[in-house]
Amino acid sequence: MELGCLPTSFALHATGATGHSKYGLLHRQSRSSPALQGGTRIGWTSGLLFLAQSRRVKRARRQAVNIQAKRHMTTSSGIVELPELLQVPSMVTQVIQSFIEECGHLDAVLPITGKRTQVHVSGLRSEAFKDYLDQHGHGAIQDWLHDLREKLQDIAETNDGEPSEDILVLVGAEEMQVPHLDLSPGQRQVVMALTATTPTLVYNPEAVPSDVDEIARSLGLDAEAEEFGYFLKSSLVLPVAEIYEHMVPAFSGDFRPGDAVMVEDGIVHAGPECKDHGRMVVFMTFSTQPKTYEIDRQCKLWDWASIPSVPPMIAYHRLFEMRDVTLKHGMDVRPWEYYPPGGASEACELLCTTPGLDVARVERLVADWRAGDCNSPFTSSSLHPAQLLNDLTRWLRGLVE
C-alpha cells in the first residue's frame, strides 16, 4: 500500500526549553541512590530503607494513576480518559521522524491501513530502533521510553493486568482506518498523543443496540452460535453505514501531547483521518487474561463473514455493502487489496463490486475468497508474510473461547 504523507514539522509540547532537563543525564542520575553515586555500597539498613522508599513511590504512582482513571471513567462505556499521562519532549517526535526517513526499509517500520507508518519502539521488531538510539546518542529518548513503559505498568497493575512488551508509534493519517477490533477479551489498549491531534474514534457506546437476537435474525445468523457472540455484542456486524455514522472521538476536548485514552476490548474503533497536520500517537496494550496482544491481527467490518458457518449470501452482502457504502461517502475502501493477487483477491473484488450475483456464483466466489491467503492488516506489503485466511478465522473464533 502507499505510505502516508509523513510530516516534517509538528505542533510540539516540550517540557522545558530543550526537554533535556528531564530526560537528560540528570534524570538518569536521579534514579540512583545517593549512596551509589559516589561508588559506595548501600548498607543493610540503608538498603532496606531505599527499597521501602522505592515501593512507596511506586505505590503512590499507581494510586495517582488509579485516581486519575476513576475521575475520568465512564464505567458503562469501557473508555477511560487519561489526560496528561506523560510529558512528551519535542525531541521524541523529531527522532522518530528521523528514524523513519533513514531506516524506512527495515522491518521496524511498516506501512499499515489508513496510510499510516507503524514504528516498533519496544518489544517485537524494535531492535533496529534501539540500535538507532544507541548509535546517535539518544539516551534521553531511551529514558523517556523507560518512563513510558513504567506508566503502562502502573496502568496495567491498577487494572490487575500485565502489560505487553510491544509498543508502537503510528505516524500519519491521510485516511480514516476501517473500523475494526484487534483486542481479545480482557485486553485493553492505551493510545497516547505525541502531537496535538484528533483522538482515536470509537463506536458510540450510547448507540450500541441491546437486542442481539434481532441483529442476528436480520443477518440470518444464530445468536447462540459461539463464534458470533463476541461480534454481535461488539456492534461489528451492524450495517456499515450505521457503524460509520456512530464513530465518535474517544477523548473529550483537545487531544494534546501526553494525553491518553484507554479502550476496552469489544469496542469497535478506528484511527481518524488527519490530513491537515502530522499525526503521531503511541499505541500500547495490557491484558487482564492470559492472552497477549497480536499486533498483526485485526478484524475489520467484513472479516467476520469469512467464518465458514456464515451463509455465502450473507458474506456476499457484507462485502458488497462495504464497498458500496464507503464509495457513497467518499472513501475508497477496497477489501480485495487485503489479499495477495490471485484467486482470493479476484473473488473478493467480484463480490464487492458486482450486484445481482446468483446463488450458485456467490457460493463459488465465497468459497474461493475463504480459501485464499490474507495480508490483514497490511495492504500490498512484501514486508509481512501472507497469512492463511483459515488462520485468521481460528483467531476470530479464539476471541470467544
Longest CA–CA span in the chain (Å) reads: 82
pLDDT score recorded for residue 185: 80
Separation of alpha carbons 296 and 231, rounded Å:
19
Confidence of residue 294 (pLDDT cuts 50, 70, 90): low
pLDDT score recorded for residue 381: 33
> What are the structural domains, with CATH classification, of the chain?
75-198+252-299 (2.60.120.620), 302-398 (no CATH)
Residues 110-141 have pLDDT tens digits of 988 888 999 999 998 999 999 999 999 999 99
pLDDT score recorded for residue 291: 61
CB atoms within 10 A of CB 269: 21
Residues 145-190 have pLDDT tens digits of 999 999 999 999 999 999 999 999 999 999 999 999 888 888 999 9
Which is it for the CA torsion 22, 25, 30, 32, positive or negative? positive
Helix (H, G, I), strand (E, B) or coil at 121: strand
Summary mean pLDDT of the chain: 76
- The answer to whether the CB of 87 falls within 8 A of the CB of 79 is no
pLDDT score recorded for residue 76: 55
pLDDT score recorded for residue 298: 79
Q: By CB neighbour count within 10 A (0-12 exposed, 13-18 middle, 19+ buried), where does 376 fall? A: buried
pLDDT score recorded for residue 371: 85
Mean pLDDT highest for which of 39-53, 101-115, 237-251? Answer: 237-251
- The answer to whether the CB of 101 falls within 8 A of the CB of 193 is no
Separation of alpha carbons 306 and 283, rounded Å:
27
